[in-house]
Amino acid sequence: MILAFDTYYFENKAKTVCLEFAEWNDKIPSNIYSEIIEDVSEYESGAFYKRELPCILSLLKKIKVDINTIIVVDGFVFLDDEFKPGLGAHLYNALEQHIPVIGVAKTNFAQIYNLKKEVYRGESRKPLYVTSVGVQVHEASAYVQSMYGQYRIPDLLKQLDSLTKEL
């Protein structure tokens, strides 16, 4: 089972959506989960996880995970090559390091070089930036590369982003 999470912030609320799918090249999700939380933390530069992690963990409580689960987050797992934890690493640790986490970011983070892979999809000249924990980054990037869709952003991740913004 693969669970992809994204969160959208509006007013003092956050809408978190999770798409569940079985295979990396699935065209449609098998389940969609969502939740709106009020009174979310303000954005803190360099500590994005403080805002988003509680949203993901809250929604994750409503989903039955198993030992074969992999989680995909919008963002980075690590913030530098010294394993400074980003959202993905904080999530991995909150889950007692039992569930691999793959970060897929649309914009580069300049302080990380060796722990990320650039993934070019379709005819795009702009890569996605993949980081991971619990699964090797080259394997994680192959998963993202194989996701359904002909454009830079895989179709399911594009759908996920759209669903978070539907209020």
Taking only the tens of pLDDT, the chain with its 167 residues reads 999 999 999 988 999 999 999 999 999 999 999 999 998 877 777 677 788 999 999 999 999 998 899 999 999 999 999 999 999 999 999 999 999 999 999 999 778 999 999 999 999 999 999 999 999 999 999 999 999 999 999 999 999 999 999 97
Strand partners, 130: 104, 117
Give this prediction's pTM: 0.94
The pLDDT value recorded for residue 51 is: 83
Pairing of strands 117-119, 128-133: antiparallel
Residues 164 and 15 sit within 8 Å (Cβ to Cβ)? yes
Q: Which residue has the tokens 């993934």?
A: 119
Number of domains within the chain: 1
Distance, in Å, from the CA atom of 156 to the CA atom of 21, rounded to the nearest integer, reads 9
CATH number of 97's domain: 3.30.2170.10
Residue ranges making up the domain that contains 118? 2-165
The pLDDT value recorded for residue 137 is: 97
